[in-house]
Amino acid sequence: MKLKIISLMIVVIALFFTGIAYSVPNVMTTDSYSFEIVDDLTPPYTANPFPAHQAIDIAKNTEISVDIKDDGLGVDVDTIVLTVNGVIVSATISSGDVKTVHVSYNPTDDFMEGSTVYWTVDASDLHE
């Protein structure tokens, strides 16, 4: 151990007398980060259906609309299917954000007076 200390002192003295400056480099401290990969396990859900479920006295020419929301990665708009009275219809899909997608359908013909209209909507999660 004494030999190492003496050798170090000789190097420091040699550097001092030869005019070579030695400084400790300016090194940053290590920053550590982590992240977790989590699968989106919560399916999309609907909000703001119009007309509301079991609504009464709705106009014959009413538009059907609903918002599809997803709190995870978002809604896969390519999987949205709207059916009216058991028939898949061509719906208008608009979204400013994949987390909330607005779906609407304006039928070309009025619904029949006194009829009950059944409609469904299906959608899936957006996956990466």
Residue 60: the pLDDT is 94
List, run by run, the mean pLDDT of 10-residue segments along the chain (128 residues): 51 54 76 84 94 93 96 93 96 90 96 94 88
Residue 75: the pLDDT is 95
Residue 109: the pLDDT is 94
Residue 100: the pLDDT is 95
| pTM of model > 0.95 | no
Residue 97: the pLDDT is 87
DSSP of the chain: -HHHHHHHHHHHHHHHHHT--------PPPP----------SPPEEEEEESPTT--S--TTPPEEEEEE-SSS-EEEEEEEEEETTEEE--EEEEEETTEEEEEE--SSPPPTTPPP-EEEEEEE---
Listed by start position, the domains of the chain span 45-125
Q: What is the CATH code of the structural domain delimited by 45-125?
A: 2.60.40
